[in-house]
Amino acid sequence: SSAASSSSPGSRKMVVSAEMCCFCFDVLYCHLYGYQQPRTPRFTNEPYPLFVTWKIGRDKRLRGCIGTFSAMNLHSGLREYTLTSALKDSRFPPMTRDELPRLFCSVSLLTNFEDVCDYLDWEVGVHGIRIEFINEKGSKRTATYLPEVAKEQGWDHIQTIDSLLRKGGYKAPITNEFRKTIKLTRYRSEKMTLSYAEYLAHRQHHHFQNGIGHPLPPYNHYS
Mean pLDDT value across residues 92-96: 97
Pairwise CA distance, residues 209 & 167, whole Å: 43
In this structure, the number of other CB atoms found within 10 A of the CB of residue 216 comes to: 12
Mean pLDDT value across residues 158-163: 98
Task: Place 204 in a pLDDT band, splitting at 50, 70 and 90.
Answer: confident
Sorted by where each starts, the structural domains of the chain and their CATH numbers stand as 18-111+190-206 (3.30.700.20), 120-181 (no CATH)
Task: Say which residue, 121 or 4, is predicted with more confidence.
Answer: 121
Of all residues in the chain, the percent with pLDDT exceeding 90 is 83
Provide the pLDDT for residue 218: 44
Pairwise CA distance, residues 15 & 189, whole Å: 10
Provide the pLDDT for residue 205: 75
Render 135-172 in DSSP notation, one character per residue.
Answer: -TTS-EEEEEE-HHHHHHHT--HHHHHHHHHHHTT--S
pLDDT at 11 over 60: no
